[in-house]
A and B are shown apart, each in its own frame.
Chain A
Amino acid sequence: MAQASMSVSPSSGAPDLRGSVGRRRSEAVIRGIFFIAASVSIVISAAIILSLIFEAATFLRLIDLDQLREIGWFPRRGLFDIGTVLMGSLIVTVIAMVIATPVGLGSAIYLSEYATPRTRRIIKPILEILAGIPSIVLGYFALTVINPRIVTQIFSGADHFNLMAAGLAVGVLIIPLIASVSEDAMRAVPRSLREASYGLGARRITTSVRVVFPAAISGIVAALILGISRAIGETMVVAIAAGGTGGSLFTLDPLGPGQTVTAAMASLATGSDQVRGASAAFPSLFFLGLLLFVITLGLNLVGDVFVRRTRQRY
């Protein structure tokens, strides 16, 4: 039957164009399978967001809104000062970016514009190893090396746990990310632009900074925004090295202990599967989670807008 429908006999008039019914059917099934695969992540994301919103709303119903503006973040005592943890995250992120931006972009420029293929073959895997170090290891590294060997050497008044050491470690953590994303962006700049620049008597540094870098700016901005997102979301390093277990007073001092949004969540959840203390302590986790989600989403949207704007200009 199938064979008969494949061949068109000249005498039968209109050609048989029905093709194989079985194949069309299996195509539909395959399409369905891929659609389900694609849907899974959407469904999961929606479920997470919904549970975040639901629990966060519970949290806001359980507390007085005044409790969100207190002297610090002590969830088990009913003090939920959002400013404390936001400021903690901000301090850590700023310190991390101050370290990671120059080192990351510097490595990217070196790898993309200066390194011979051989050097790149050696250095890139090393960078990837750095990216693969578990953040808990870096957390202890911050506590046992970065803080005593660097931070307390430079700033005599630094606490044993402080935001500075945590920020530096987070900076180390995001260097590979910034380096590799911005290196990709710079390597994607056409060779012809570099040749044009060299052909005009520009040196390598001029070509890198004034031709390649601006041409890759959208990718570089994306790299920095990814870095910021990663720094804000980093949990383990700050939970270990920044102190503030259980809570923290509002602080602007990077040399003292403090708490970030993520570390606050981690310290709430450690120790047992039940969060002890005031009844609002557990749902406050979800409130922080929602906050984190909104911040990261906002950053990505801003990044997108920026990337699109620079693309249009060129």
Chain B
Amino acid sequence: MMTTATPPSPAAETSPKRHMDIRIETRSRTGDEPATRPAPVIQMEDVSCWYGDFRAIRDISLDIRTNAITALIGPSGCGKSTLLRAINRMNDLVPGARLTGKVLYHGEDLYGPRVDAVEVRRRIGMVFQKPNPFPKSIYDNVAFGPRVNGVRGDMDELVESSLRRAALWDEVKDKLKQSGMALSGGQQQRLCIARAIAVEPDVILMDEPCSALDPRATLQIEELMIELKENYTIIIVTHNMQQAARASEETVFLTMGEERAGFMVEKGPTSEIFTNPKNQLTEDYVSGRFG
């Protein structure tokens, strides 16, 4: 168990204390409800993902805090997106993808035999790297999720409240019938966030949501994320270290080993990861010496 989270190669010196901490947390949550902290919404235990014979990530164990923003950082190809997509079973859509280990959502194994991936994705929403509104009206974009999930009730109200929470309502309220594709990039991405919110998930996964946006639109999205964390747990993959530092409470640093499988180097409060990382690899990365 101890060795599972320990990478084989350069990072072998990863602080054992770190792993101890994680294990203690693991124990406390699998037993009685911890008194001090709310239970983590997502817990990963020894998660490895394969695409065919290629192992994209290895033996990752971590907890995701409720109502907080967790940033996944690390060099290109280290498996950040794979890790993120393992959480809502998006990898299932890739032929040949498989996973070992456990991903628990409120204690329920997401890869258990009786779990329907569709239900998982309804509760764990996703915002993608490139804004991908449907070629439908703004209204229909937001209403799509509730409709396919059979939500009854006042759709107009749900669309409005979702757009309001995504800080887009004022800009689009007079053109709800227009195509979502006609919006600017930043607006499109907020539309995608509104669309994700409309199905009322409790976790939102964001895969580099600002990489296609200009700095102003990026800031708007970050502000929005900080507002949203009141009600949602957000996990964001980002290449932008300032973004991780500005917007997140927790940071997970991943890198890859010699056989190209990504592994977790360390996880902690964002301020610690950026100012006082425990691992040399993390320090090299956040200080810009590597990656």
Q: Which residue numbers of A lie inside 8 Å of B, CB to CB?
A: 116-117, 190, 192-203, 206, 210-211, 214-215, 313-314
B182 (CB) vs chain A CBs: closest residue: A314
CA A185 – CA B229 in complex, angstroms? 40
| Chain B residues numbered 114-172 whose CB sits less than 8 Å from any CB in chain A | 118-119, 121-123, 125-126, 128, 130, 132-136, 144-145, 148-149
**0/1 string, B263-282, CB within 8 A of A gives 1:** 00000000000000000000
Q: Which residue numbers of B lie inside 8 Å of A, CB to CB?
A: 88, 90, 93, 95, 118-119, 121-123, 125-126, 128, 130, 132-136, 144-145, 148-149, 179, 181, 192, 195-196, 199
CA A190 – CA B129 in complex, angstroms? 14
CB pair A201 B149 closer than 8 Å: yes
CB pair B199 A211 closer than 8 Å: no
CB pair B122 A201 closer than 8 Å: yes
A117 (CB) vs chain B CBs: closest residue: B95
B129 (CB) vs chain A CBs: closest residue: A192
CB pair A314 B181 closer than 8 Å: yes
**Chain A positions within 8 Å of B144 at CB level:** 197, 200, 202, 210
- A200: which of B95, B119, B122, B135 is its contact (CB, 8 Å)? B122
Chain A nearest CB from B126 CB (Å) reads 4
Q: A200-B122, A201-B122 are in contact. Are A192 and B128 (CB under 8 A)?
A: yes
CB pair A195 B132 closer than 8 Å: yes
CB pair B130 A201 closer than 8 Å: no
CA A116 – CA B148 in complex, angstroms? 24
CB pair A192 B130 closer than 8 Å: yes
Chain A nearest CB from B282 CB (Å) reads 30
CA A195 – CA B148 in complex, angstroms? 15
- A314: which of B93, B130, B179, B192 is its contact (CB, 8 Å)? B179
- B128: which of A116, A199, A206, A214 is its contact (CB, 8 Å)? A199
CA A197 – CA B192 in complex, angstroms? 11
B130 (CB) vs chain A CBs: closest residue: A192
Q: A117-B95, A313-B179 are in contact. Are A202 and B118 (CB under 8 A)?
A: yes
- A201: which of B118, B135, B179, B181 is its contact (CB, 8 Å)? B118
**Chain A positions within 8 Å of B128 at CB level:** 192, 195-196, 199
CB pair B132 A192 closer than 8 Å: yes
- Which of A117, A193, A199, A206 has the most C-beta atoms of chain B within 10 angstroms of its own C-beta? A199
Q: A215-B134, A215-B135 are in contact. Are A202 and B181 (CB under 8 A)?
A: no
CB pair B181 A200 closer than 8 Å: no
- A214: which of B90, B132, B133, B136 is its contact (CB, 8 Å)? B136
CA A228 – CA B158 in complex, angstroms? 43
Chain B nearest CB from A308 CB (Å) reads 15
Q: A117-B95, A314-B181 are in contact. Are A201 and B121 (CB under 8 A)?
A: yes
CB pair A190 B125 closer than 8 Å: no
**Chain A positions within 8 Å of B93 at CB level:** 194-195, 198
Chain A nearest CB from B232 CB (Å) reads 15
CB pair A200 B132 closer than 8 Å: no
- Which of A193, A200, A206, A314 has the most C-beta atoms of chain B within 10 angstroms of its own C-beta? A200
CB pair B130 A199 closer than 8 Å: no
- Which of B118, B133, B181 has the most C-beta atoms of chain A within 10 angstroms of its own C-beta? B118
CA A202 – CA B117 in complex, angstroms? 10
B131 (CB) vs chain A CBs: closest residue: A192
CB pair A196 B134 closer than 8 Å: yes
CA A197 – CA B93 in complex, angstroms? 12
CA A193 – CA B133 in complex, angstroms? 7
CB pair A201 B90 closer than 8 Å: no
CB pair B132 A196 closer than 8 Å: yes
CB pair A214 B135 closer than 8 Å: yes
A-B pairs with lowest CB-CB distance, top 6: A201-B122, A200-B145, A314-B135, A199-B126, A192-B132, A202-B148
